[in-house]
Structure 1
Amino acid sequence: MTVTHTGPGLTITEMVVPAHLDDADAADFHALVALNNAVCLADTGLDDLSRTAAEMLPEWQDRTDHVTRTFLAHEGRALVGAVTVGHGVAEPTSAEVDLMVLPEHWGRGVEQALLDRAEAEVRALGRRVMQAWTLHRAAAGTAPLVPKTGWGAISSTPHARLLAENGFALEQVERNSAFDLQADPAPVERMLAEALAVAGDDYRVVSWTVPTPPELRAGYAWALSRMSTDVPSGDLEIDEETWDAERIARRDARFVDGGQTVSVAAVEHVPTGTIAAFNELVTGSAPGEVTHQYCTLVLKEHRGHRLGIVVKCANILRWRGIAPQSPRITTFNAEENRPMLDINEALGFAPASYAGAWQKRLA
């Protein structure tokens, strides 16, 4: 284990990923989860992005497709910050950095020391791009930051200023929207019926709860791989991802091992038997938890048939039977992704917070 001494009393060490949450060496992982949730709450004013240790642990343990390493900053025995460095195994270009420091610890060099450690790790990997995300409250304030896309704006926070000072560019703004799952479903039912009439007989809805049925894995893998090519990403350097049935099975296992329930509503293009669009809804094991929408996509060659409305509405209605106590759905979409935001707004999704997507190209 490499230890970085950055100043009086401050050390940065790589976190050991425990085999089980009740193991003797799991304390640091539990502390990381608590820190992550506290930072999300401080940045957005909402607890909708909180996660449990059980949900997160499988993502850290399984390094087959994506590696996540974590570096913890301590002053004495107190945890004062952390940074994760994540990267795809098959995707060679970029690494993702997630910096977590609570407001009371900013301004003493903790954040800079962690960011420096992260950059050193990315360079050691041979990656040429660092990407990072910042969370922001709904109000952009008096000096908003506008991304290179020109769409949306975020507030100028210490985290955002730190990234800018370290050579990161604000490439994109994403809107986090929330939908009331306890509202009258009649408008959703009406929108679904209208969209299905437009889509016609060439398209049919196929739904399942993870794990994905074996006969659907290969087709779903192809559709999920298109998230890396078909979603608006500004100038972010995104490698095209390679998915197959085995990678879908591994992803499903992480959800199941973390006690999460995942519903997928997809549209099959009947003439070809391929998946043309899909939507994912996810929640944890406790009743009444917030629902997270993960991936939603209409493949480029199937756009213009209202399939985005179909998969969103079909999954919302299905979800009401799966997680009837969940209060709302939360989802992120790029501000320039007007087709998807138009659907969200028509359904009743309302802005709740924002995220900034930052990128630094390494020399």
Structure 2
Amino acid sequence: MSELAVDVVTISPVVVPASVDAPDARVFVEMVRIANAVCLHDAGHDYLREEPEEMLGMWQDQADWTQLGFAALRGETVLGVVKMLISNQPDASTIEFDLMVDPPHRGQGLDKPLLAEVEREARERGISTIQTWTLHRPDAVGDRLEPPTGWGSIPDDAEARLQQANGFTLEQVERNSVFDLTGDPSPVERMLHDAEATAGEDYRSVTWTSPTPPEYVEGFAYALSRMSTDTPQGGLVVDEQRWDAARVERRDARLKAQGLTVSVAAVLHVPTGRVAAYNELAIADDPAGATQQFGTLVVKEHRGHRLGTIVKCANLLRWRTIAPQSPRVSTFNAEENRHMLDINEAIGFVPASYAGAWKKVLEA
């Protein structure tokens, strides 16, 4: 295709509508459609699919994160979009974004005006680092790119070359793994039994379906706060997130607004009462859709007791009663997070796609 004729393309802010049926919701709904089309095209599967109501519920809650987007339009046709996520904490130092060009319109230079909006937003906010992700199929052939971590690789394909041409550096590779929920659960049951025997009496398993029960809110807030500090980040910039009970309650309300059913399996450290490990599984309104694994974390000081195996296995077994029609669970892990990948592989997760994490530091 030829280069984009910029004079026929308009870059417009994405309006956050009151509902997906509102008169001004068309561009927002198109943004969701394009996001799903990009995931299907680049990853080769639809396990990452989102519904418009799901994304809208997230965007309508701007208490802890600012979410905004811009669309590239030719007439009434939405050709591509960029959506940004910015922490509302005063020390925020990075913007995370997804720049998505509808696959039939790639190669027309649409990335440039959309990326310009991200850089403009960053400079106006005094933020120097912007970060994004690309998706890649597991069976891609040809030259490979490796991050400085030395763990994993992605194909040096058109999307990767586009990131490099725009001044980004590959900082980390994540593996997208899936688990077949239709198989025999007995191996997972055995793993759970063995792990609980290893953990000992200082640890106690609990489960709940969102919202978080009042007796666990404070402990869960502590564990959620550690997600930004206790997981491998490669060369990415990750702002430490501060959580309290009120933020957990806001999050629970947002998950409800998104139409999500969320199951949490956690391990409590009995002497302190804190949540030492947790795993979250979530599904939207389609009972036969793919399940998404949200956070999984074992707090650093509690590692070495097989708590990761406990929360993963306990939640997978519980999930069969909550979403029995869901065929699979999809999750992401950094390739250098070998301990968690070992657990996944032992349970039966297999690679479905890969993600490259990219960073650009803007010139002053």
Query: Does TM, scored on the shorter chain, surpass 0.5?
Result: yes
Once the two structures are overlaid, the 10-residue window that deviates more, 279-288 or 112-121, is: 112-121
Residue 120 of structure 2 corresponds to 120
Contact kept, 8 Å, 2:37 with 2:103, in 1: the verdict is no
Contact kept, 8 Å, 1:178 with 1:328, in 2: the verdict is yes
CA distance in 2, matches of 1:157, 1:11: 28
Aligned partner of 2:297: which letter?
L
State the SS of the aligned residue for 1:247. Answer: helix
Residue 66 of structure 1 corresponds to 65
- Identify unmatched segments of 5+ residues in structure 2: none
CA distance in 2, matches of 1:140, 1:120: 34
Once the two structures are overlaid, the 10-residue window that deviates more, 347-356 or 123-132, is: 123-132
1:27 aligns with 2:17: no
Once the two structures are overlaid, the 10-residue window that deviates more, 231-240 or 110-119, is: 110-119
CA distance in 2, matches of 1:19, 1:6: 33
Contact kept, 8 Å, 1:140 with 1:153, in 2: the verdict is no
Contact kept, 8 Å, 2:12 with 2:71, in 1: the verdict is yes
Once the two structures are overlaid, the 10-residue window that deviates more, 323-332 or 95-104, is: 95-104
CA distance in 2, matches of 1:177, 1:349: 6
Q: TM-score, normalised by structure 1?
A: 0.97
* Structure 1 residues 236-255: aligned runs within 5 Å: 236-255=236-255
Contact kept, 8 Å, 1:289 with 1:327, in 2: the verdict is yes
* Structure 1 residues 210-359: aligned runs within 5 Å: 210-359=210-359
Residue 199 of structure 1 corresponds to 199
Over 4 Å off, 4+ runs: none
CA distance in 2, matches of 1:29, 1:105: 18
State the SS of the aligned residue for 2:242. Answer: coil
Contact kept, 8 Å, 2:291 with 2:326, in 1: the verdict is yes
Q: Displacement of 1:103 after TM fit?
A: 2.8
State the SS of the aligned residue for 2:351. Answer: strand
Aligned partner of 2:30: which letter?
A
Deviations 1:145-170, CA, capped at 9 Å, x for gaps? 11111110111232221211121110
1:17 aligns with 2:16: yes
Q: Displacement of 1:23 after TM fit?
A: 1.1
Deviations 1:254-297, CA, capped at 9 Å, x for gaps? 11111110000000011111110000000011211110001000
Residue 135 of structure 1 corresponds to 135
CA distance in 1, matches of 2:339, 2:10: 47
Residue 188 of structure 1 corresponds to 188
Deviations 1:213-268, CA, capped at 9 Å, x for gaps? 12211110110010000000112111111011111111111111111100000000
- Identify unmatched segments of 5+ residues in structure 1: none
Number of positions where the alignment pairs a residue of Structure 1 with one of Structure 2: 359
CA distance in 1, matches of 2:338, 2:297: 13
CA distance in 2, matches of 1:292, 1:135: 16
Deviations 1:306-345, CA, capped at 9 Å, x for gaps? 0000000000011111001100000000000000000000
* Structure 1 residues 90-109: aligned runs within 5 Å: 90=89, 91-109=91-109
Q: TM-score, normalised by structure 2?
A: 0.97
1:48 aligns with 2:44: no
State the SS of the aligned residue for 2:25. Answer: helix
Deviations 1:187-207, CA, capped at 9 Å, x for gaps? 000000000000011101011
Residue 209 of structure 2 corresponds to 209
Identity within the alignment, %: 56
Aligned partner of 1:221: which letter?
A
State the SS of the aligned residue for 1:48. Answer: coil
Q: Displacement of 1:6 after TM fit?
A: 7.5
State the SS of the aligned residue for 1:95. Answer: strand
Aligned partner of 1:353: which letter?
S
1:79 aligns with 2:78: yes
State the SS of the aligned residue for 2:318. Answer: helix
